[in-house]
A and B are shown apart, each in its own frame.
Chain A
């Protein structure tokens, strides 16, 4: 890799051991991916996330770096929830110079500070990375905390993967022949594409046939959560909406797609069938879940559906909301209305009811369903359905209207 004089200086240790350590990582990574150079990153979204052990080796690794005196070289936004406010990573991020202005890591619903077209950024998890690549036209790869913190400390990242124009061009075509009626449908479409691409997630999917005036930003956010769920796709092109795909021709840069998939109602319904009920009685209903927090539109829909009604007391009904959505819902009196209907607001209320440390993300019911004896859970998004299956949970995917009906009646139609 070609390094500038300043970069070579950092690599040699002239700026201190901490910078040397992270620079060595970036250079080895860059050489592994045959990157020619480092490129500056304009900002970063970083979520350290949970560790199996407490405090965990990841925390120790970062503490060592902080002790060596490094700081962030670009604005870095970290979530203020799941332990971030009081946990050991709060002190680490504070010392590094983080901005605590981005509630609810794991999805792109909340960042108030956005990159602009063409900038190289640190994109947090797969959902945020997909959103920024696909709808802003910023450039990021999915990396772990090691890559993210290293890039933020150096202020640069190796130019590989989706930082390069040639890797951002459409390769496969998904022709949409079905109307997507809500966020759950968008979530199901994302999962269908994710599964279809399988291990070839770098074959950038182009989604054609959706009317731009029928799409909401919340649809895009929800789609961003599920399209990487099965196989790590973090860049797609939605024709008419993605800045790099104003037309179908632009999406493929004049080339022909390698493969074309038609998505009709049969394909979309197939996703709902994958996550269908085997038992009548749910153990929980979770609107939002694994890094998928709901939109204000979903909150309003649920409030309307539960107006003057009570949810079943046989199992918890939880809605996961955070950041600006939570503040708005509070301000509009919507969370009060949901509470009155018997809905728990946020996973933390569920955890408090079980006397569990709410700052420990791994104790959340969607990460430790087994611990709470949850075997049959209704969700309104496909990402959570997919992720929770590893715990032997039968996940059921339903539209918000159906989820509300089940919450009231206490029964799923099998």
Chain B
């Protein structure tokens, strides 16, 4: 049964337009350069490959998903990667952070991937993998429809 809809609001305007999809929630900070080891061989393969850095999403890929994670790490080449991932048709639908790292803010601006952060509740707690999430970057709002149990 449906558990209803939860709305999270940001303290400020986000980036991009509106994007929605199934959530993939990662509990660890992400660095595309190191944590998605297969993209170097194939830009459409966004599988998380690090058991120690990103164990909560190990073996899962973020293409077509709303990617929820606490923050980015360094990995200044993450934008080089995401540009090719987007060109390969494997982009995430939107991004939700606790606090956005500049690398992710810049790539979202240029690639117009909806992104919000600094929400009134912790998105990594409230959102579960599989929930349906709508992100409005203009308004800074995240709408969560809990997955049917």
Contact = CB atoms under 8 A, between A and B. Distances in A.
Interface of A: 25, 28-29, 31-34, 47-53, 56-58, 61, 124-126, 141-148, 150, 161, 198-199, 201-202, 228-232, 234, 362, 367-368, 370-371, 386-387, 389-392
Contacts of A25: 106, 109-110
18 contacts: A25-B109, A32-B12, A32-B14, A32-B100, A52-B42, A52-B85, A56-B83, A58-B83, A142-B74, A144-B80, A147-B106, A199-B28, A199-B98, A230-B53, A362-B40, A370-B37, A386-B53, A390-B36
Given A141-B102, A147-B106, A198 B34 contact: no
Given A32-B12, A58-B83, 12 more contacts: A25-B106, A52-B41, A52-B80, A52-B84, A126-B74, A143-B76, A143-B102, A144-B76, A148-B76, A231-B73, A386-B52, A390-B34
Contacts of A126: 74, 76
B79 A58 contact: yes
B76 A49 contact: yes
A142 B102 contact: yes
Interface stretch (B1-9, B43-51, B128-136): B43-51
Contacts of B88: 53
Contacts of B86: 57
A51 B107 CA distance: 14
A371 B28 CA distance: 27
Contact of A232 (B39, B40, B73): B73
Contacts, number: 149
A146 B53 contact: no
A125 B81 CA distance: 15
A107 B43 CA distance: 26
Contacts of A31: 13
Central interface residue in B29, B50, B105, by most chain A CB within 10 Å: B105
A79 to B, nearest CB: 13
Nearest to B40: A362
Interface residues of B, number: 49
Nearest to A21: B110
Nearest to A128: B76
B29 A231 contact: yes
Interface of B: 12-15, 28-29, 31, 34-37, 39-43, 49-53, 70-74, 76-81, 83-88, 98-103, 105-107, 109-110
Contact of B12 (A34, A48, A231, A389): A34
B87 A57 contact: yes
A232 B29 contact: yes
Contact of B76 (A124, A161, A229, A371): A124
A117 to B, nearest CB: 23
- Give the 5 A-B CB pairs with smallest separation, nearest first: A126-B74, A57-B83, A144-B79, A390-B50, A390-B37
B77 A49 contact: yes
A177 B100 CA distance: 34
A337 B37 CA distance: 36
Contacts of B42: 52
B73 A29 contact: no
A143 B73 contact: no
Contacts of B39: 52
Contacts of A148: 76
B70 to A, nearest CB: 4
A199 B53 CA distance: 12
B53 to A, nearest CB: 7
A230 B80 contact: no
Contact of A50 (B12, B77, B103): B77
A145 B53 contact: no
A143 B84 CA distance: 18
A33 B105 contact: yes
B80 A145 contact: yes
Nearest to B86: A57
